Amino acid sequence: MILSIVVAMDEKRGIGYKNRLPWYLSSDLKRFKKLTMNHHVIMGRKTFESIGKVLPGRTMIIISRNKSFEAEGCLVAHSLEGAIALAQKEGEDEAFVIGGATIYRMALPRADRLYLTQVHAATKADVFFPEWDEGEWVEAQRIELPVDEKNQYPTTFRILNRK
Ligand SMILES: NC(=O)c1ccc[n+]([C@@H]2O[C@H](COP(=O)([O-])OP(=O)(O)OC[C@H]3O[C@@H](n4cnc5c(N)ncnc54)[C@H](OP(=O)(O)O)[C@@H]3O)[C@@H](O)[C@H]2O)c1
């Protein structure tokens, strides 16, 4: 099973503010939906609260330390390893780690692929993607998108595979 990370980050690696995304990017939300549809998505409990619903067509695995945490229609794990094992057990071929910062930090060293949206702005953020070494990755795709009425900032969408 491939372990992939999906993340949108700004020029300072900012990814969130007050448990929300710091931007509105319609194209990125659509891309996220297309990428993750029919797959297992792994997230931290705070990201789940931020999304606020079960994403249709995806199996959501929420990571929490709280042994009594439950969310209707979702699977719960108590570690990243536990979440990966759940997806693997269900025959997943590509599982997507979708945040937030604490889960990205754990997943980055073992991720095989990065679906990265670079947001060309310095937004007000209070959570950040971990430092990462571009030299460990090979770019497989790069798409530049301009600002328009549905996309607040210009973005570059990249797919990076681990060397
Ligand atoms: N830009 C993007 O692409 C993107 C994507 C996703 C999220 N975000 C943003 O990121 C922010 C949320 O990120 P965050 O880092 O604050 O929270 P998070 O990673 O989503 O969730 C943190 C929670 O995960 C659980 N957890 C963390 N480490 C654990 C471990 N080792 N073992 C078991 N459980 C563990 C804990 O849940 P319990 O407290 O229940 O124990 C912890 O409170 C929001 O602003 C959101 O909008 C941005």
101-122 confidence digits (pLDDT tens): 999 999 999 999 999 999 999 9
Q: What's residue 33's pLDDT?
A: 98
pLDDT digits (tens, 9 = 90+) for 127-142: 999 999 999 999 999 9
Report if pTM > 0.75: yes
Q: Are strands 59-63 and 75-77 parallel, antiparallel or unpaired?
A: parallel
Per-residue confidence (pLDDT) for residue 90, from 0 to 100: 97
The whole-number pLDDT of residue 117 equals 98
According to CATH, the topology of domain 2-162 is Dihydrofolate Reductase, subunit A (3.40.430)
In ligand 1, the atom with minimum distance to the C-alpha of 21 is 47
Q: Is the CB of 64 under 6 A from ligand 1?
A: yes
Q: What's the CA gap between 36 and 50, in Å, rounded?
A: 17
Report whether residue 47 contacts ligand 1, using a CB cutoff of 6 Å. Answer: yes
Check residue 129 and report its DSSP letter. Answer: P
Among residues 127, 63, 128, the alpha carbon closest in space to that of 95 is found at 63
Residue type at position 11: E
Parts of the chain with a pLDDT under 50: none
Ligand 1 atom closest to the CA of 7, numbered from 1: 3
Ligand 1 in reach of 78 Cβ (< 6 A): yes
Nearest atom of ligand 1 to the alpha carbon of 66 = 41
User: Rounded CA gap, 100 and 129, in Å?
Assistant: 8
Closest residue CA from atom 30 of ligand 1: 79
For ligand 1, the distance from its centroid to the CA atom of residue 10, given in whole angstroms, is 18
Question: Cα of 154 to ligand 1 centre, how many Å?
Answer: 26
